[in-house]
Amino acid sequence: MSRMRFEAQRKTWEAPMANQVTHVAVAMREAMETLDWDFLREKSERLYTRFSVILPFPKVAYVFRFRVTHPLDDVKFDTWEMRMTHRGDISFLSIDNYIHEDIRAIRHLLVELVDRLPRRPWDFPLGQRVEAGLAIPEWNKSKEMWKQMGFDVTRKTPKDWVPKGSIGDRIREERGLDYSDDDLDPKV
């Protein structure tokens, strides 16, 4: 039975991500499939403004949208990428139209998502910070938003981190590691 959603109950959560938008989209799809959630993928776009010198330029970002129909009731997960400077890309993740009772399921999905990403979403490398701008508020906002969802944002991505799923398979292949299905220890 679907739960009624009143306008005052609806919530939105949005956080900058330290990962490429394609990695976030693949990891999101795989996480939802692993948790056996029913979802639809939709096309969407998001308008944003990029500043060059002092002039604003309107831009459009392609949005990877996942609309969950079960176990949540019509909750949208969007991920997109904004180009802050000529090379400074920052991905974002947004969760729309959820209610307080959905938090436990959403957090479960986010834990699965973080396990599938090449680095923790709040752990921006110095190179990415320099390219997008050291003074922009996204670096701290990311930590604040992920902490709000119950994550320990003081934890950095380990140097030998290999994520779960197809992204992890690609990384293992690049590093020349072989993982058997029944054993998680790498065989070189």
Q: Which domain holds residue 39?
A: 8-155
Q: What is the CATH number of the domain that holds 49?
A: 3.30.310
What mean pLDDT do residues 180-185 have? 48
Q: Does the residue 98 lie in any domain?
A: yes
Tally of domains within the chain: 1
For all residues of the chain together, what is the average pLDDT? 88
Q: What is the per-residue pLDDT across 157-171, written as a single tens digit (0 to 9) for each?
A: 999 999 999 999 999
Tell which wins on pLDDT, 174 or 154.
154
- Secondary structure string (H, E, C) spanning the chain: CCCCCCHHHCEEEEEEECCCHHHHHHHHHHHHHHCCCEEEEEEEEEEEEEEECCEEEEEEEEEEEEEEEECCCCEEEEEEEEECCCCCEEEEEEEEEECHHHHHHHHHHHHHHHHCCCCCCCCCCHHHHHHHCCCCCHHHHHHHHHHHCCCCCCCCCCCCCCCCHHHHHHHHHHHCCECCCCCCCCEC
pLDDT at 43: 87
